[in-house]
Amino acid sequence: MKTRAVILAGGEGSRLGMLTAKRAKPAVPFAGKYRIIDFPLSNCVNSGIFDVMILTQYRPQSLIEHVGSGAPWDLNRDFTGGIKILSPYKARNDSDWFAGTADAVQQTFTFIKKDNPELILILSGDHIYTMDYEPMITFHMDKRADLTMGMIKVAMEEAPRFGILTTDKNYKVNSFVEKPADPPSDHANMGVYLFNRDLLDKILWEDHFRQDSTHDFGKDIIPRLIKSKTKVYAFPYTGYWMDVGTLSSYWQAHMDLLSPSPPLKLYNRNWIIHTRTEERPPARFPGRGNIYASMLCDGCFIEEGAVVESSVLSPGVIVRAGAVVRESVVATDSVIEGGAVVERAVLDKRVRIEQNARVGWGVAEKNIRIALVGKNSVVPAGYVIEPEAEVGTDVIASDYHSTVLRAGETIQTRRLANEI
């Protein structure tokens, strides 16, 4: 059956703080060389789905530039399939900014149903996982389902963060509740939905005219379908899956990559995560730098006497002699000067940590607290950014009120921020 994938990529991602100040959440860098959206895109093409639409809204420029014509994913096709990026638009009638995930699909459904795909695969653009969708499609057809949901088992203490469902022994869904305080099971909604096109068209129109709806799949569409006795099934997925919607989960997903046996198989040549990359020279370690259990991308330069432990460094990162980087995520072209210490921190692109500054601490503590420095910002020499403190984008030395930024505090630039 002809399947069209629709990736929801308009999320603001406010819980990621300054990482999404200038970009949509799916465009946030991940694992050094990738963006988050590379994972659902690569899952599609690796599953044989070459007909993909991306729905954008919040700050889409970086995402659009990254995806481009879709060439890295073999999606630059003119006539059949390929990739199309759709944004909200103002029309004479009802079109406007997307009010929710279901509303985003409903407003663009004229384009989504063009050429009559029988199945619509709706995906979130902000989850990290490698999944072959073909077995799910086969499961959907075998069950003669109207809707099949991706389902994954989570820890019970984490269950209140997710949509939780229960099923019978044949995986037919009999209840679903969004982010329950008292979860009825540990089976979570993955945000992977396979709809029959006609059902999706019908239910979206009905939802569009409901005044009491938030127009969201998890909060509105799925619960109503289950109550109406529609044939809704859950497809069990047992691989790695991470919702990187918070700073702590984003950091943890990177630390998972560094375990002795990483649960996310980035090195599987049969399931390549495709991305758009620029040409960089190889990483260079000219002296006796101490590098342990880390991922370093092309163009990194680690000077003799520097220490890098359990960290992910993106292309072009420079760590000077005497600097220490531990359990941290450092994005493209950032520089850590001599004597600086970066521990349990996330640094966005083109950050400069000057001599003897400290960003974060607590590698021996069980309570994980992350410090964050936004894109293009500077932490001046000798300054301290405590865990759970946040430096905004484009911050320079004159923006600081004190040499110590305390936990829970955020500092923003006093200048007009660059919107690009």
pLDDT at 89: 59
For residues 329 and 310, the answer to whether their CB atoms sit within 8 Å is no
Amino acid letter for position 166: T
Q: What is the mean pLDDT of the chain?
A: 92
Token pair, residue 194, equals 């396979």
From first CA to last CA, the distance across the chain in angstroms is: 41
Which residues, 6 or more positions from 65, have their beta carbon under 8 angstroms from its beta carbon? none
397, 401, 404, 407 alpha-carbon torsion, rounded to 10°: -120
| Residue 92: predicted pLDDT | 44
Token couple for 66: 């990254």
User: 402 exposed, middle or buried (CB, 10 Å; 0-12, 13-18, 19+)?
Assistant: exposed
**Which residues on adjacent β-strands are paired with residue 353?**
336, 379
- 340, 327 in Cβ contact below 8 A? no
What's residue 186's pLDDT? 95
High-pLDDT (> 70) share of the chain, %:
96
pLDDT digits (tens, 9 = 90+) for 235-268: 999 999 999 989 999 999 999 999 999 999 899 9
pLDDT in tens, 2-38: 999 999 998 777 889 999 999 999 999 999 999 999 9
Q: Is residue 287 over pLDDT 90?
A: no
**Is the CB of residue 54 less than 8 Å from the CB of residue 62?**
no
| Signed CA dihedral, 264, 269, 272, 278: sign only | positive
pTM of the model: 0.93
Confidence band (pLDDT; 50, 70, 90) for 215? confident
Q: What domains does the chain contain, in order, with CATH numbers? A: 3-257 (3.90.550.10), 290-411 (2.160.10.10)
Mean pLDDT calculated for residue range 196-200:
95
Query: In the structure encoding, which two tokens stand for residue 57, read together?
Result: 């809204």
**What is the pLDDT at residue 211?**
83
Q: How confident is the model at residue 348, as a pLDDT? A: 98
From CA 170, how far away is CA 235, in angstroms rounded? 10
DSSP string, 289-303: -EEES-EE-TT-EE-
CA dihedral sign of residues 74, 83, 241, 239: negative
What distance in Å separates the CA atoms of residue 206 and residue 215, rounded to the nearest whole number?
10
62-107 pLDDT tens trace: 999 999 999 999 999 877 789 999 887 555 455 556 767 888 888 8
Looking at residue 308, what is its pLDDT? Answer: 98
Residue 122: strand pairing partners: 6, 193
Q: The tokens 């938030």 sit on which residue?
A: 214
324 contacts 343 by C-beta, under 8 angstroms: yes
pLDDT for position 77: 85
Cα angle 20, 22, 28; round to 5: 45
Residue 416, pLDDT > 80, answer: no
pLDDT by residue (tens digit) across 101-138? Answer: 888 888 888 899 999 999 999 999 989 999 999 999 99
